[in-house]
């Protein structure tokens, strides 16, 4: 019999939560497999410095899109390659999404995914230090906070937002109304709180939990229609890991469809074109992808305020670092955005459908250098885009790049909403008191006024929101990749638990929903566990040695 009951693939936001919750039952032996390693770099602990690792292949996967838009733009989409996954390098903004998002999931036929169930999952792991509202959790594993010493310009921007009908709230997750306030973030006492920090590290000593790092998943192993294990690679060695109960893919909206397709589960034409034998023809694996297109406005300020003065020159950096080391405060202790706002792009919209994240910082060139002159950056999003892209393999080689087509702003709704988001961002900075600090709009620039000019800027000057979803979407119909228990249709013993299972976009940043959905999935898996007998030993259907791991090997030592 295999050594493990559950093999969890991917040590990111969902995988860390799932490993924590499944291993809480001492009956179950859980293996967590991660391609990266532990978060050794100090940049992974200092909130403002995580993005410095975006170009470091030791900590980040580098995916590239196909050219898109009239200027044939190609983007690099980074994803965390470390315990904690993208939560170890992201902007740390903690946004639950709207009640209506999850109620819509249930309305679409996904039983047990309404707001009541998801809110309970949130409250179960939150340690919200911002407010004592009954809507949030206290004492859980994941600390959520706002900065203790906000830059005055952040409060100035928030005050301007109230003139557009946004209510200032201390905790933006308390309401779904138009609102503005300091950005809630997964930061505790000036340190980043990743999914590994919160959920994995505290339980690493559990005897029934093994964590295997530095291991790349290549494909699934099937036997008589059941997933019985995975083929993995460490260095030049390839071997098979077996499970008694289930394989759970938590590889994300890019990684999970890639694994399924490499294993022969996906659209027949995609698999045949890539040279992969078809095991199960599933049209929607890798399809229906949605992402937030981030629309970027930047402004030059007429006074030397904001974060640039603290982070541009070497003497300023030294002073800022000394302050951070001594107090855990200052710009280095802040999330990507200082202020978060939610608004309606049109008064007739039934609910909030736009978001803007404001940071008192501007970057030069490719985003690697802080500008010396003072500035503000604003990142806007259509909260629920309807354009759908795709993720496809083009080779049986797991190391071969994916073909990623974002297909941004391809629907009429998205194009209209994008223009409205950009115009609302401009309108905000025309309000007092922030208007008195604005010297000029740097991008898109005053030359972009018409709808077509703003749409061009949205593609050419915008960027990915890092929020891809939907590529293994759940639903009640046979064409949905997974059912509402997240079981892959047509294969026993296989689930997907990550953002790829969302058939619709949630209203905002996606790290918090990924963790809540994993906590909910753990309940569903445990429920099935009690109803299913453990199968006996199974024969391998694909070559490779089955490995029994000692604790040292499992921890990557």
- Spatial CB neighbours of 359, under 8 Å, sequence gap ≥ 6: 307, 336, 337, 338, 339, 376, 377, 379
CA distance 466 to 293: 9
Strand partners, 531: none
Alpha-carbon distances, residue 482 vs 116, 196, 356, 397, 530 (angstroms): 21, 26, 32, 25, 21
- The verdict on whether 64 is a catalytic residue reads no
Q: What is the DSSP string of 100-140?
A: HHHHHHHHTT-TT-SHHHHHHHHHHHEEE-S---TTS--SS
Q: Given its phi and psi angles, is residue 204 left (phi above 0), alpha (psi -120 to 50 degrees) or beta? A: alpha
CA distance 487 to 37: 28
Residue 182 parent element (H or E): strand 179-182
Residues in the chain: 557
**Do 308 and 317 contact (CB within 8 A), yes or no?**
no
CA distance 365 to 371: 9
Residue 552: φ, ψ to 5°: -65, -45
CA distance 347 to 550: 61
Closest alpha carbon to 29 in 199, 210, 241, 213: 210
CA distance 73 to 66: 8
Residue 77: φ, ψ to 5°: -105, 105
What count of other Cβ atoms lies within 10 Å of the Cβ of residue 526? 14
- Active-site entry in 63, 307, 310, 467: 467
Give the ranges where 469-550 is alpha helix by DSSP (H): 511-529
Tokens read off for 474: 């759940």
Tokens read off for 225: 């229609």
**Do 361 and 306 contact (CB within 8 A), yes or no?**
yes
CA distance 176 to 95: 11
Secondary structure letter of residue 149 according to DSSP:
S
**Do 282 and 240 contact (CB within 8 A), yes or no?**
no
**Do 320 and 331 contact (CB within 8 A), yes or no?**
yes
Alpha-carbon distances, residue 442 vs 402, 427, 445, 539 (angstroms): 34, 15, 5, 63
Closest alpha carbon to 491 in 527, 547, 541, 537: 541
CA distance 519 to 541: 32
CA distance 64 to 391: 11
Give the ranges where 470-540 is alpha helix by DSSP (H): 511-529
Residues with catalytic roles:
467
């Amino acid at each position: 019999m295999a050594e493990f009951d559950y093999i969890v693939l991917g040590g990111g936001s969902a995988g860390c939560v799932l490993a924590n919750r499944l291993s809480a039952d001492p009956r179950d032996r859980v293996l967590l497999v991660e391609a990266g390693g532990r978060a050794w770099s100090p940049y992974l602990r200092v909130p403002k410095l995580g993005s410095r690792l975006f170009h470091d292949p030791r900590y980040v996967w580098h995916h590239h899109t196909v050219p898109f838009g009239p200027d044939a733009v190609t983007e690099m989409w980074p994803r965390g390659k470390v315990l904690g996954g993208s939560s170890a390098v992201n902007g740390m903004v903690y946004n639950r999404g709207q009640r209506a998002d999850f109620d819509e999931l249930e309305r679409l036929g996904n039983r047990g995914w309404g707001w009541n169930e998801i809110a309970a999952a949130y409250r179960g792991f939150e340690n919200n230090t911002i407010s004592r509202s009954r809507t949030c959790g206290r004492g859980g594993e994941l600390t959520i906070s706002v900065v203790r010493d906000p830059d005055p310009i952040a409060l100035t921007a928030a005050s301007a937002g109230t003139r557009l009908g946004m209510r200032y709230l201390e905790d933006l997750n308390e309401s779904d109304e138009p609102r503005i306030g300091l950005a809630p973030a997964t930061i505790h006492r000036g340190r980043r709180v990743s999914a590994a920090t919160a959920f994995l590290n505290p339980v690493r000593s559990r005897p029934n939990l093994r964590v295997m790092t530095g291991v790349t998943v290549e494909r699934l192993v099937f036997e008589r229609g059941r997933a019985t294990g995975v083929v993995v690679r460490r260095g030049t060695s390839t071997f098979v890991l077996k499970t008694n109960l289930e394989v759970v893919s938590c590889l994300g909206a890019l990684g999970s469809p890639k694994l399924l397709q490499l294993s022969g589960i996906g659209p027949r034409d995609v698999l045949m074109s890539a040279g992969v034998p078809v095991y199960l023809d599933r049209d929607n694996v890798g399809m229906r992808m949605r992402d937030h297109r981030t629309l970027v406005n930047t402004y030059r300020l007429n006074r030397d305020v904001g974060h640039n003065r603290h982070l541009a020159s070497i003497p300023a950096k030294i002073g800022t670092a000394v302050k951070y080391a001594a107090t855990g405060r200052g710009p280095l202790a802040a999330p990507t955005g200082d202020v978060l706002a939610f608004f309606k792009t049109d008064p007739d919209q039934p609910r909030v459908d736009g978001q803007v994240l404001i940071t008192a910082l501007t970057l030069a060139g490719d985003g690697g250098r802080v500008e010396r002159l003072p500035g503000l950056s604003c990142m806007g999003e259509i909260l629920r885009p309807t354009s759908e892209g795709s993720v496809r393999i083009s080779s049986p080689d797991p190391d071969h790049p994916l073909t990623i087509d974002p297909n941004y702003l391809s629907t009429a709704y998205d194009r209209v909403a994008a223009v409205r988001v950009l115009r609302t961002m401009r309108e905000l900075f025309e309000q007092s008191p922030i208007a008195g600090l604005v010297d000029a709009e740097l991008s898109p620039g005053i030359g972009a006024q018409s709808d077509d000019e703003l749409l061009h800027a949205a593609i050419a000057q915008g960027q990915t929101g890092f929020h891809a979803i939907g590529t293994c979407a759940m639903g009640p119909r046979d064409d949905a990749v997974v059912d509402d228990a997240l079981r892959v249709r047509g294969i026993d013993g296989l689930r997907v638990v990550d953002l790829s299972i969302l058939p619709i976009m949630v209203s905002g940043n996606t790290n918090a929903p990924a963790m809540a959905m994993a906590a909910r999935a753990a309940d569903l898996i445990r429920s099935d566990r009690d109803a299913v007998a453990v199968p006996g030993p199974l024969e391998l259907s694909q070559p490779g040695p089955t490995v029994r791991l000692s604790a040292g090997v499992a921890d990557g030592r």
